[in-house]
Amino acid sequence: MDALPASAKILLGLGLFTLLLPSVEPISCFVCSSSPTNVQCNRSNQTCPAILDMCITIIDIAGSTTSIVKQCSSSATCSAAMSQAAVDENGNGNIVNCCNTIDFCNLSGAETAAIHKALPVLSLFLLLLVAQ
């Protein structure tokens, strides 16, 4: 197999680099207001405005009552909410989770791990280099 010309390697490298840059596309989140269950909370979703770059989930617990709120949020709001979240020794309080890994990352209320979108392209790029 012929080796790729230097210009093709540069273009391929630039294309890969572009995929690794943060996305400017808005994130989509599940949204709900005071739902008693996660299943009910995941019935609605929203594409977030560009300024709201995170999905936030707030779980309020008071005795046997649980209330879940999910919405789009800014990074600053997520950080502030997470720093204030606390559960007392009786299990009452609130839990805050924020994520921006993939669309609908707030499915479970906890940050969801995902395979980065560039991983398949990176694998192909490495295969092309090794095949030389």
Q: How do residues 81-99 score in pLDDT, each as one tens digit?
A: 999 999 999 999 999 999 9
Cα–Cα distance for residue pair 98/71, rounded to 1 Å: 10
Instruction: Tell me how far the alpha carbon of residue 46 is from its chain's centroid.
Output: 14
* Structure confidence at residue 25 (pLDDT): 84
Q: Which domains does the chain have, with CATH numbers?
A: 25-112 (2.10.60.10)
- Please give the DSSP secondary-structure letter assigned to residue 131: T
What secondary structure letter does DSSP report for 57? E
Average pLDDT over residues 113-130: 44
- What secondary structure does DSSP assign to 61-111, as a single string? EETTEEEEEEEEE-HHHHHHHHHH-EE-TTS-EEEEEEE-SSTTTTSSSSP
